[in-house]
Amino acid sequence: MNAAVVSLVENVVKLLHNFSFDAAKEALDDFRVSSVSLAPADDAVLSLVQCLSLLTSAEKGYASLAFLGPKGFLRKETGTRSVYNLIRADLLKFSGEPIALAMPEVHDRTVVCHLLRQLYAFVSARISLMNCYEKLTSFSTVRAINVEEIAGMVEHCLQHYAGMFHHPLIGPLQMAFTVECEMLLYLLKCQDHLSTVRFTPSLAALREAQYRLNGWTSEAGLVSPSSPIVSWFTFKQSPKQRSLPALLVWFQQFYGLLISKFALYFYDVLSRQTSHKEFQSYMAKLPFNYPLKIASFCRRYDASNFFVVVDATELRHGEWNGYKVPSFEQTTTGLENFPIIYSYPLERPTYLLPSVVMILAENFERLEIQDRIWSSQDPKKEMTFFIARIEKSMFAVLVFKQLRSEKRPFIVQFVNELCCELRCARLFQSLKSGGK
């Protein structure tokens, strides 16, 4: 293959990997100007240049999450997906080219065609991954978010296209695709593990996602290797560095939400690992400091208690007390099946559990709807309870000793927003607006 073409492919692919789409477009324009002598017989090379040009446009739209924006009714699709489909249609004519021939000039064409076939596989992989993101946005509009389903889609996509575009010239595309799939997969697995209060698998998934997020951004030149994600949960980005594309911003937000959620669900476990002062300084660095948010609301609206309770009757592997030896099986009975994993104030209100368990039992079907907030009064204790399902077996409970009716709308809004955030519904919905 012509040295100029090899140099072009290497340069453009590297720029795409670094999210430098405008620079990639300039490189292609310069090549067209300097290679006006390409003959029509060089159709494979011409198709390669055209493919790279369209791919630059499509990748820019992909990185900005433009393909997830609102679509007009009966409007012809002219966005990112249509560009990828156009590339695939153009490359189909090279799918039947012979793999190897003897003549040097034919051999060059064979190499180019081989590269085009691998780019076809990459574009197909992109479209498959776009389907996964679109599925995530649909989950945000329904009541039950089936994270396991989308994780299975991502895993299938990763396994199906593994090694299908491994040519050294486009190696960075293979690397970026693999890292993106793995990162999304680990974050989804972490979300699933957190919903069943599994400490160790959640922690492991977070660390795997953190490692890949650091590697992806540093390799792309967006965050320097000397300034990765600080500690666990923040990006340290130099003001001189260009802004992150919407796709990476969304991944950062997803990771930030999960690490904040992890800190809430395992607050008691984590607080025992260091001094109170140091632990609070770590909590202050979280993207979402849920304990502070909860405490502020309770003080402002005179709530006596807020706590997160788990219905552990069907959770065999719950680890709300931290790491548990896999072979260790502990039998729980009665109120032990409803552990409080977080409480404000910190002293757990176990005396309220009988009332809460009774409300859960009497309104089980109503609370199956995740966006439903149930309120109930206990005349004996002179208390009002607000209960909502966060996800699966997790419930948020807000308790008032004296409740004024004008506070109800603010209480319902707070509980609803908190539960939506913790089940990642709002985060998945943000994909439609470019991760904002």
Mind listing the pLDDT tens digit for each residue in 11-47? 999 999 999 999 999 999 998 888 765 655 577 888 8
User: Which residue would you say has higher pLDDT here, 1 or 135?
Assistant: 135
CB 18: neighbour CB atoms within 10 A? 17
CA-based R_g, the chain, Å: 26
Angle at 161 between CA 432 and CA 122, to 5 degrees: 65
Tell if the pTM clears 0.85, that is, is over it. Answer: yes
Quick check: is 269 in a domain? Answer: no
> What pLDDT was estimated at residue 304?
94
Do residues 222 and 167 share a domain?
yes
Task: Give the tens place of pLDDT for each residue, 348-388.
Answer: 998 999 999 888 888 777 777 667 788 888 888 889 999 99
> What pLDDT was estimated at residue 207?
93
Query: 104 near 390, Cβ under 8 Å?
Result: no
Number of domains in the chain: 2
Quick check: is 266 in a domain? Answer: no
Do residues 254 and 144 share a domain?
yes
Structure tokens at 82: 């249509």
> What pLDDT was estimated at residue 238?
41
Do residues 255 and 295 share a domain?
no
Residue 100 has pLDDT above 60, yes or no: no
Quick check: is 433 in a domain? Answer: no
pLDDT tier, 112 (very low <50, low <70, confident <90, very high otherwise): confident
- Considering 240, 259, 278, which residue would you say is the last residue of a domain? 259
pLDDT tier, 72 (very low <50, low <70, confident <90, very high otherwise): low
Do residues 346 and 223 share a domain?
no
User: Which residue would you say has higher pLDDT here, 302 or 332?
Assistant: 302
Quick check: is 129 in a domain? Answer: yes
Do residues 186 and 293 share a domain?
no
Q: Which amino acid is at 47?
A: S
- Enumerate residues 6+ apart whose C-beta is below 8 A from 54: 83, 86, 87, 90
Do residues 124 and 209 share a domain?
yes
Structure tokens at 358: 């009774």
Residue 314 has pLDDT above 90, yes or no: no
Query: 119 near 51, Cβ under 8 Å?
Result: yes
How many CA atoms within 13 Å lie on the side-chain side of 140?
Answer: 19
Do residues 121 and 167 share a domain?
yes
Quick check: is 36 in a domain? Answer: yes
- Considering 259, 276, 300, which residue would you say is the last residue of a domain? 259
Task: Give the tens place of pLDDT for each residue, 315-357.
Answer: 765 666 655 545 555 556 678 788 899 999 989 998 999 999 8
Quick check: is 277 in a domain? Answer: no
Structure tokens at 9: 């492919």
Do residues 124 and 183 share a domain?
yes
Quick check: is 273 in a domain? Answer: no
Quick check: is 354 in a domain? Answer: yes
CB 31: neighbour CB atoms within 10 A? 19
Do residues 121 and 50 share a domain?
yes
Residue 391 has pLDDT above 60, yes or no: yes
Do residues 351 and 217 share a domain?
no
Dihedral angle, C-alpha 133, 154, 183, 161, nearest 10 °: -110
Do residues 226 and 310 share a domain?
no
Do residues 119 and 243 share a domain?
yes
Domain assignment of residue 13, given as a range: 3-259
CATH code where residue 361 lies: 3.30.450.240
